[in-house]
Amino acid sequence: MKLDDFSALLLELSRIDAPPGYEAPLRAWLQAHLPAGATARVDGLGNLIVLREPDRQPRAVVVAPLDEVGFLSQEGPTQGWVRLAPLGPAPLPGPAGARVRFANAALGVLVREPHASDDAGWRGWLCDVAAASVPVGTPGVWDAAPVARAGRVWGKALGVRAALLVALWALHHAEPAHPTAWVFAAREQVPGHGSAPAAFGLQPAWAWRVMPAPAGDLPGQRVPGPGVGRGPAVRLREWGRAADPRLVQALQRAAAQVGFTPQAEVPPDREPSWASLPLVAAGLPTATLSLPVRNLHAAHESVALDDLTLAARWLRQLLEAPGDPLA
């Protein structure tokens, strides 16, 4: 399968389950699709670290997530029912009926618990597993078959898979102006794991993140954000701080070279799962190329293929730009 066929690749990758800490199947897929000559290793947390020039100290690092939001089963009130503890920022399912697929092949359907208070969170939901055996601590993910139609793809985990594909495409096609490492980060949906420990070991001078962003283009939405199908965005705030202005300017220059104006993303809230990368060691200048995703982290996400294609070209141009972006 060609890496340019983003539609087919998203459909394939959405079917691979990779909740935090259980990314091995997706990591194996990635290792089988690395470019010839690349050197890869897996660190103690499960991050896949790829170098094209293993004998040179990387100046830059490209980060994309491996994992998706998931769940661990908890003991339920009676046989045939379990509760779920979310792994990562899984939104509450809203109307009952969303399905969860467990690692032991059991399926469950979410049901709102009678008389649950409005602030009960996930404790107000039960998962009907019928006669299936789901031991406590069994990992699970949303169960949603991906579909591609009219330039869009719908399914579970599409935002993180889209970010991964953009980074992988650049790994194959870019000729970076500086020695560059790629980190496909495990456990990126939970605090204190993933890219930050990997970056600490690599000690680069700056970092580019490729991440999904919640779309903010719904009619009447109070907090606006980037729109699906309107191109990728540059994130202007990281963990309550302004993104590094030098790297933001480098992103904007690269976008101009590609021939488009990126959307601007200013997240309204802090990001507990991706917050620690700029704080590594003495401080790692970081900027983010973000991909708009509708229903981010829910069972049925939606991405636009044109956004992925443009983001891949943007990242390639960014990596190939001469000069030091921090100068």
Domain ranges across the chain: 6-68+146-320, 70-141
Contact 96, 110 (CB under 8 A): yes
pLDDT band at 222 (very low <50, low <70, confident <90, very high): low
Please state, in angstroms and as integers, the Cα–Cα distance from residue 118 to each residue in 71, 127, 211, 246, 297, following that order.
21, 18, 31, 44, 21
Q: Give the count of beta carbons closer than 10 Å to the beta carbon of residue 105.
A: 7
For residue 214, what are the CA distances in angstroms to 9, 146, 225?
21, 19, 7
Pick the CATH number of 70-141 from 3.40.1710.10, 2.40.30.40, 3.90.920.10, 3.40.190.10: 2.40.30.40
Lay out the sheet containing 60-65: strands in order across.
Answer: 39-42, 48-51, 180-185, 60-65, 206-214, 286-293, 233-235, 263-265
Taking CA atoms, 193 is separated from 42, 88, 102, 276, 277, in Å, by 14, 12, 23, 9, 10
Query: How high is the mean pLDDT of the chain?
Result: 91
**119-140: average pLDDT:** 93
Quick check: 101 pLDDT over 90?
yes
Provide the angle, in degrees to the nearest 10, between the axes of the packed helices 305-320 and 158-173: 40
pLDDT value for 305: 97
Residue percentage of the chain with pLDDT more than 90? 74
The pair of three-digit structure tokens given for residue 55, joined into one six-digit string: 């004998």
CB 209 within 8 A of CB 63: yes
- Provide the whole-model pTM: 0.94
Taking only the tens place, the pLDDT of each residue in 17-36 is: 999 999 999 999 999 999 99
The domain made up of 6-68+146-320 is a member of CATH 3.40.630.10: yes
The lowest-confidence range among 58-62, 91-95, 214-218, 267-271 is 267-271
Structure tokens that stand for 210 in this block? 């490729």
Sign of CA dihedral 32, 19, 238, 224: positive
